[in-house]
């Protein structure tokens, strides 16, 4: 019988919108976490294909609480870095989602964590790395969490609703400067 497990990743916020939209990584490949697990590229492909067949995505939860969904994922895929995702907190309809949004803006919440099970042949122990290599994951949910196990899975971007044209222009100017400095480093 498969048991549900959790694998935590930090969340990196590049921008946050007052619509509650965000982007980030729910899992990062090749990183040994605090549970001595390493997710390998391709681990999510079968699960994501099953979700796609169902026409939906895993749940967006608060702190792995199944009774506390706080939004929806709008996109989820593997790329070279890990499990890339986009989501939207239901900040207009759910007080807990609004609270989570406030924590994201303040930086007091910065982690993502996946809830999953592993098929019997989905992992193996690598004695050289002293870690379990997770090769297949049945993904159930991705939560916003306070304390992640893997420090490299972060929210990359939180989008903001533009209040007026001047505000939009100011944000664009700041973004251009930010990109200029980022590409030079």
Nearest-10 Cα torsion for 151, 37, 75, 50: -170
Choosing from 21, 23, 47, 64, the catalytic residue is: 64
**Closest by CA position to 160, among listed 88, 84, 112:** 88
**Closest by CA position to 141, among listed 47, 10, 42, 28:** 47
SS3 call for 174: helix
Q: What letter does residue 147 receive in the DSSP assignment?
A: S
167: left (phi over 0), alpha (psi -120 to 50) or beta: alpha
Choosing from 27, 47, 141, 143, the catalytic residue is: 141
Residue 141 annotated as catalytic = yes
Choosing from 27, 47, 110, 113, the catalytic residue is: 113
Residue 160 annotated as catalytic = no
CA dihedral for 50, 56, 60, 66, sign (positive or negative): negative
Q: Which residues contact 118 (CB under 8 A, 6 or more apart)?
A: 2, 5, 134, 136, 137, 138
Residue 27 annotated as catalytic = no
CA dihedral for 42, 66, 24, 107, sign (positive or negative): negative
Q: Which residues are catalytic?
A: 64, 113, 141
């Amino acid at each position: 019988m498969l048991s549900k497990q959790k694998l935590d990743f930090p969340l990196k916020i590049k921008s946050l919108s007052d619509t509650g939209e965000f982007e980030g990584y729910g899992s990062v490949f090749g990183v040994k976490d605090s549970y001595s697990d390493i997710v390998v590229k391709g681990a999510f492909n079968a699960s994501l294909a099953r979700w796609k067949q169902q026409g939906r995505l895993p749940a967006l939860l608060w702190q792995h609480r199944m009774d506390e969904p706080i939004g929806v994922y709008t996109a989820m895929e593997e790329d070279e870095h890990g499990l890339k995702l986009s989501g939207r907190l239901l900040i207009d309809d759910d007080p807990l989602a609004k609270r989570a949004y406030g924590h994201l803006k303040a930086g007091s919440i910065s982690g993502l964590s996946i809830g999953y099970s592993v098929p019997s042949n989905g992992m193996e122990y690598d004695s050289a790395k002293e870690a379990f290599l997770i090769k297949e994951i049945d993904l159930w949910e991705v939560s916003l969490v306070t304390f992640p196990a893997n420090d490299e899975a972060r929210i990359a971007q939180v989008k903001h609703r533009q209040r007026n044209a001047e505000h939009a222009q100011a944000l664009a100017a700041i973004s251009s400067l930010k990109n200029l400095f980022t590409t030079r480093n």
